[in-house]
């Protein structure tokens, strides 16, 4: 028999779906600020999964991903507990900023501390109320402003609890990466809570494909955790492609970039990725792929400085599998749960 779930000084009963507001430090005007948390506590016992969005305040895809997940009727029959936090960095979100008003990157301030800086206090509240009450987490990100990411999972595959789950998400690509110090993922690992990051799309924009890949992936993970029953009569997800490493190709000079490749393109070493020119077009310099792989991130702004990261290439041995999975992405209906009637976001 499932017992009540304690969070934020309240008890959530089995079968209950409740919106909580975690109090945060307020504004100069003394306007109060809170972090919204939707708690769905299943009638039957199971894992506690958290979903987090907008840890970087301008990365908003996760908000729409979480909204769609919360609209699914199948959650009424869910086992275990779902903690959905669409906006972690509320202050950054309200000012369309990646950072907090104290100019700190919240995702480098975890685990935070109760008596610390503004960022440390918010990180601490999230750790105490959400992370330590969970067994698994999925943290939803996009690329930074003027950049775009191909849908991908990042996880430390040395964590045995994450290995199967990261594959079960069935994103087109999976990048093994150790979590950066100070990140939510890093601090959670120290509390034995396994967190994977979903990276897709760009800041301050919705991207329909990224949203669909994530909704599909989160449902896959919930099925793998037995929080939801297996999918009925649906095609098996295409297997995710493991990227063994990734590297950035940087600008060799400042100038104006004409990109020649898009996200998801498969490239070969030496291939032209872009051309950097001066304002009057007197000299062109080619940007060449420094290895074989797939474009998993790129800049969208043509105005670039020497040393700037332009194209992120992920390397894989599984190129045929990759081409096959890329083909799936052109059929977005395959990614959509039948019970989710949703008009696509058009951009």
Question: Which residue's Cβ lies closest to Zn ion?
Answer: 141
Region from 15-23, 140-148, 169-177, 296-304 binding Zn ion, contact rule CB under 5 A? 140-148
Say which DSSP state 11 is in: E
Alpha carbon distance 303, 251 (integer Å): 11
Nearer to Zn ion, 61 or 220 (CB): 61
Alpha carbon distance 115, 174 (integer Å): 37
Identify the sign of the CA torsion 211, 216, 217, 218: positive
As measured in angstroms, the least distance from the Cβ of 141 to Zn ion is 3
**Residue 312 in contact with Zn ion, rule: CB under 5 A:** no
Nearer to Zn ion, 7 or 59 (CB): 59
As measured in angstroms, the least distance from the Cβ of 55 to Zn ion is 6
Burial (CB count <10 Å: 0-12, 13-18, 19+), residue 306: exposed
As measured in angstroms, the least distance from the Cβ of 204 to Zn ion is 12
Region from 109-117, 133-141, 235-243, 332-340 binding Zn ion, contact rule CB under 5 A? 133-141
Nearer to Zn ion, 107 or 237 (CB): 107
Q: Is 275 helix (H, G, I), strand (E, B) or coil?
A: strand
Region from 72-80, 138-146, 260-268, 286-294 binding Zn ion, contact rule CB under 5 A? 138-146
**Residue 186 in contact with Zn ion, rule: CB under 5 A:** no
> Under rule CB under 5 A, which residues in 25-64 are in contact with Zn ion?
56, 59
> Under rule CB under 5 A, which residues in 141-160 are in contact with Zn ion?
141
The DSSP string of 39-102 is EEE-SEEEEEEEEEE-SSTT--HHHHHHHHHHT-GGGGG-EEEEEEES-S-HHHHHTT-SS-TT
User: How many beta carbons lie within 10 A of that of residue 4, not counting itself?
Assistant: 12
As measured in angstroms, the least distance from the Cβ of 178 to Zn ion is 17
As measured in angstroms, the least distance from the Cβ of 202 to Zn ion is 11
Under the rule (CB under 5 A), what is the footprint of Zn ion? 56, 59, 141
């Amino acid at each position: 028999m499932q017992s009540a779930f304690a969070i934020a000084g309240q008890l959530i009963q089995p079968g209950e779906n409740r919106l909580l507001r975690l109090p945060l430090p307020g504004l100069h005007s003394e306007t109060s600020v809170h972090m919204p948390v939707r708690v769905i506590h299943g009638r039957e016992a199971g894992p506690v999964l958290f979903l987090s969005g907008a840890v970087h305040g301008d990365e908003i895809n996760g908000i729409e991903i979480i909204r769609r997940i919360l609209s699914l009727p199948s959650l009424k029959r869910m086992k275990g507990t779902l903690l959905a936090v669409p906006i972690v960095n509320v202050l950054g979100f309200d000012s369309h900023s990646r950072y907090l008003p104290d100019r700190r990157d919240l995702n480098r301030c975890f685990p935070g501390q109760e008596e610390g800086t503004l960022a440390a206090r918010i990180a601490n509240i999230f750790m105490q109320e959400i992370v330590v009450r969970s067994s698994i987490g999925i943290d939803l990100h996009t690329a930074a402003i003027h950049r775009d990411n191909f849908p991908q999972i990042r996880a430390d595959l040395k964590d045995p609890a994450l290995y199967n789950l990261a594959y079960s998400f069935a994103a087109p690509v999976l990048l093994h990466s150790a979590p950066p110090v100070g990140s939510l993922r890093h601090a959670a690992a120290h509390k034995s809570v396994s967190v994977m990051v979903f990276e897709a799309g760009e800041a301050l924009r919705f991207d329909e494909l990224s949203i669909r890949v994530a909704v599909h992936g989160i449902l896959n993970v919930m099925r793998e955790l037995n929080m939801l029953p297996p999918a009925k009569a649906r095609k098996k997800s295409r297997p995710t492609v493991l990227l063994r490493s990734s590297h950035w190709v940087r600008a060799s000079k400042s100038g104006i970039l004409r990109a020649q490749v898009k996200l998801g393109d498969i490239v070969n070493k030496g291939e032209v990725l872009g051309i950097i020119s001066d304002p009057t077009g007197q000299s062109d310099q080619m940007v060449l792929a420094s290895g074989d792989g797939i474009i998993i991130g790129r800049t969208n702004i043509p105005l670039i400085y020497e040393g700037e990261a332009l194209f992120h290439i992920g390397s894989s041995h599984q190129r045929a599998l990759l081409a096959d999975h890329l083909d799936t992405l052109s059929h977005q209906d395959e990614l959509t749960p039948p019970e989710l009637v949703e008009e696509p976001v058009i951009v």
